[in-house]
Structure 1
């Protein structure tokens, strides 16, 4: 198999930011009377921001404020945390620069809104390394639906079978597989991550060994 493009997930791959989403959602939704519980929050973990906001509004409807505005409050809070905290995955910039030097096309495909992706790429100072940056906010469905990956491949001009995806979640791996792509699970040294759908595994970007690349 020949790999021509590497497409990265963002949260949990480029930046250790998943805790930021939990904090932002708790802070924002609680301020509108939502009773955020761990059990319900688990159900929203891999949803898009729009889906998460609609999920909580459906259970604890707030008044005098539309859902999109509350969604943007969450997004803004996450961006603030990304900008303020040390959350860059160690070694990821060097890893991507190495791929770019070997002439691979590089893409980013995330369930997060595009303005969060822009904030992350600016923080890591790697925006110029990416040939495409795409968000599920422009698709009818987010991961685990494959749309965000299929569109990314189209934007790269590379057929899905020549793309390999770096993901950290079962939902993301499922999306990549459904798109017909090879998969790499990035565990950040967490052996509890479900990697059944992964063709390869990266424990750390600082000590990476990916035979297919």
Structure 2
């Protein structure tokens, strides 16, 4: 029986990820470098430890770029692109339906608390989440399962009672590693990435195409 739903944030609730890629891609192009999806995918849904797009041009290619000016440009370009984004379709309906059904609702994000709190308040949806776990709460972010494990512990639910809503391969791996089923709703960026072949993945083009009652009912028992 499903007792809880835990949402990812970046790329799932609000598509912050596609604007980040476009901002970095265009900045790299100005320096004569192509940023590929394969390269960038290493930091989608996780941190920048494997691939740091802020530093790659300087540390790996040795380009004489002012690090702080580069960072400021990326953030300015990302902010401009993000202004056009709204809560992804189906998210608000799922939050309302989950609340009406008496399900516990959590959020597990590899981003920091300040980033998450700011956006949830701006979007007017912070009140839906009983538990919010961010990078500030764990030692390892996704694809490590720690964020989901901690969120479930705080909600008082078991993996078999919980469904994760994700958009990226790293996030989906974290959910399954935590023992959960995972609905994958890719955004324009993550739909170009390769997901593992996993029986506990439920793929949906949009949450509007995945009936809430059918999803919850399929995990009853």
Relative to the length of structure 2, the TM-score reads 0.73
Superposition map of 1:35-184 within 5 A: 37-38=35-36, 40-49=39-48, 52=52, 56=56, 58-59=59-60, 78=78, 81-82=81-82, 84-184=83-183
Q: State how far apart, in whole Å, the 1-side matches of 2:141 and 2:76 are.
A: 20
**Structure 2 CA distance for partners of 1:131 and 1:173, relative to 1, 3 Å:** same
1:63/1:17 CA distance change after superposition, 3 Å:
closer
> Which structure's relative contact order is higher, taking Cα pairs within 8 Å and 6+ residues apart?
2
Residues in 2 aligned to 1:73 and 1:151: alpha-carbon distance in whole angstroms: 35
Task: Call closer, same or farther: CA 1:75–1:108 in 2, change over 3 Å.
Answer: farther
Moved over 6 A (4+): 27-31, 61-66, 69-73
Contact 1:91–1:205 at 8 Å: present in 2 too? yes
Q: Summarize the Cα distance change of 1:91–1:183 in structure 2 as closer, same or farther, 3 Å threshold.
A: closer
**Secondary structure, in 3 states, of the residue corresponding to 1:37?**
coil
Secondary structure at 1:6's aligned position in 2? strand
Mean CA deviation greater in 115-124 or 55-64: 55-64
SS at match of 1:165: strand
Root-mean-square deviation (Å): 3.6
**Residues 88 and 122 (structure 1), Cα distance of their counterparts in 2 relative to 1, 3 Å cut:** same
Partner of 2:195: 194
For residue 22 of structure 1, report the CA deviation from its aligned partner: 1.6
Q: List gaps (5 residues or longer) in structure 2.
A: none
Deviates more, 1:173-182 or 1:196-205: 196-205
TM-score, length-scaled by structure 1? 0.76
Give the Cα–Cα distance (whole angstroms) in 2 for the partners of residues 79 and 156 of structure 1: 33
Q: Across the two proteins, how many residue pairs are aligned to each other? A: 208
Once structures 1 and 2 are overlaid, which stretch shifts more, 116-125 or 96-105?
A: 116-125
**CA distance in 1: counterparts of 2:39 and 2:135, whole angstroms:** 22
Per the alignment, do residues 71 and 177 of structure 1 end up closer, same or farther by CA in structure 2, a change over 3 Å counting? farther
Partners of 2:48 and 2:164 in 1: CA distance: 22
**Structure 1 segments unaligned to the other structure (5+ residues):** none
CA distance in 2, matches of 1:148, 1:75: 26
> How far 1:45 moved relative to its partner?
3.1
